[in-house]
Structure 1
Amino acid sequence: MTSSVANADHGGSAAQDAAAEIQAARDRADAAAQAFFDKESEIDALQIAIAAAEVDLAQVESEAEAMREGLEFQAIRRFVGGGPSDFPLLIDLDDATSSLTARVYSSVASDTANVDLDDFDAAMKEINEQRDALDSQRSDAREAAESYVALQLAAEEEVVRLGEIEAQRLQDEAVQHELDAQRREREERERLDREAAEREAAAQRAVAPAAPVAAQAVTPDQPATTGPDPTPEAASQPTDQSPSATTDPPAAAPAPAPEPAPAPEPAPPTPPSTDTGSNLACPIAGPRSFADTWGAPRSGGRSHEGVDMMSPGGTPLVAMEAGRVEFKTNGLGGNTVRLYGASGTRYYYAHLSSWEGSSRTVSKGEVIGYVGKTGNTSANHLHLQVHPGGGQAVNPYPYARRACG
């Protein structure tokens, strides 16, 4: 008797085409989200620069005003003393540069006064230059704000379109199987690229310290130096390794100090392991797009310590691992969740529209809230932070990407 159960053709072209369509939609959504959040970073950087420029301009204007008052005093003193009375500095600061003419300079005979006028003229030129630069920055900020609105709409439309495509295509198990296969291939390529880059970096670190040693040749008749101490690099080399006997100089020559072995370069920060996020639940149970904005500038001189994941408002958020959640509200994050994972890692979710339930112990994948735009944002998205061991935040993009596919 022939079985009536239809087996999915995991290698079929239909499944491959559907998976390719979904991946293309995800790529478009990711690109739109990245463009949107990059524009947000650009706006924040401009705001920081504008604030600093305004402080600098105010300082220069204050100094110029002090100069103007001093020159005003000199003009009054000359007038009272019967000197030239055509000293036109009793004017508004904005009109000062147009009034500094040859007649002004010729009306002041004192060398000291001439120097003051030169300084004042230079200060006014600097003020005008800074004002022009500030106006340009403000214009850039206005244009960026206009682009920001358009990019937000585009990003939100792309993630909605992605949800529609996934809802239609992911009904077939074969399509999900194909997507998983493509993801494994992509991760393998990324792993090989990362290992190759690490090997190249290690090779460069190994040869870099040898360059200054090779440049310092010692000849048998070279007198001992009595100059300054060795360079910090040389002084920091370990001295617990003996040089090879074959490198000893002739007995008749002054024996140089033993050549120390090159000190290993400090190990770079350990990157997330290749299985980062492999055992975690995706925090967004629905369509989502990613933007890697780790370290991007933020208002107030802050830097971004999370990954931004766009998703339609109201999309469920789930616990990435089992643990305990605490719900709190603050000005920047709005409605937030702190998930203290059983592994010791702490996760921070921000901008939720609302929570599900109350602070409690949760299981992996349990709904804990919903995507929103509370706090310091105008777009529905999840701001996610990852703190391994409960310590400092690390770039959560690899975690989110691996957990969510």
Structure 2
Amino acid sequence: ARIRELRETIEASLLPDAAAVDAGTLQAELTGTTTALRSLQGEEPLVHPVVDGQAVAEVVATWTGIPVGRMVSDEIKTILNLKDRLEERVVGQPHALEAIAQAIRTNRAGLTDPRKPVGVFMMVGTSGVGKTETALAVADLLYGGEQNLTTINMSEFKEEHKVSLLMGSPPGYVGYGEGGVLTEAVRRRPYSVVLLDEMEKAHPGVQDVFYQVFDKGNMKDGEGRDIDFRNTVIIMTSNAGTDTIAKLCADPDLMPEPEALTEALRPDLLKVFKPAFLGRCNIVTYYPLADDIMTLIVGLQLNRIARRVKSAYGVQFLVDDSVPAAIVARCKEVESGARNIENILNRTMLPELSAQILARLAEGGEVGQVQVGMGEGGTFRYNIG
């Protein structure tokens, strides 16, 4: 309402018989108020004061699935700072993030083959080291949100006859016209990240399907339509060579350089992937996470919980110093890396904490400051003020 009032006053002051007003002061106030409103609304405002480029971009994004607003507004800045932005979410893998950022920067500068996808990456590493989180972060930064990530579990394509499900059934076969798992997802969201999880578990025939995508940037679906992959980032994950990685990285002081680790893994990769397939991929290796990196990840997860508690109840969420160390110690009991951190928080800490909060509310009390510490037997102890 204030923005409309300021605009009407400024427009009225331009009329010949208008009363004298300080147009400069009004214009400065209008600019400041508009800036404050935009910061509050974020990137997806519900109401636009005027029909501008951002409003048009949102309509285009809704119709086509192409996140035009994010791509137009700050794409160049995002690409230049991509590694730093990725490191805000993925910890302990700077070499991998730099390799990904470098390939994407080269593509955005127009120096790569325009017929090929933005990037084709084979992420290799043990479980729970940040491969999937990297894909989520790339989708968020490049394409406007994690909803622009298509995840396909390749372990579902172990049999040769299931390979056609990726492109869709041909005419005369069951499922014709329903679209393929891969082609239909990319047809609906041509600007997106495609995550092919556990690629080594798929039938070797699946690799032949992707040669056309990697070389020409397109694939024909079951109905004969050309599906354009040129604006996608294709990320494949693999646990091949896990034993080799664990052996070479057992001593943090003697871990090989990323290039040397990649070469050491190549024999293991060639056991499950064809040389022609690997030659078309940018192989990115991930190191096992050290205890200090795991502690940082625990801190990131706890900060997310703190923001949720602050948003829901308006109170602080405090954690004793002993809690992160205890969570990291539990993660070392199983070989799932940082993935077990989320399991511990979601299956132990949060259910127990939520039960105490709901009990407090049921008694008619208020939720005060929340503090988490360690009790006897390695259990979590909660104190709700």
Band of TM-score, shorter chain: under 0.3
TM-score (norm 1): 0.21
Structure possessing the higher radius of gyration over alpha carbons: 1
TM-score (norm 2): 0.21
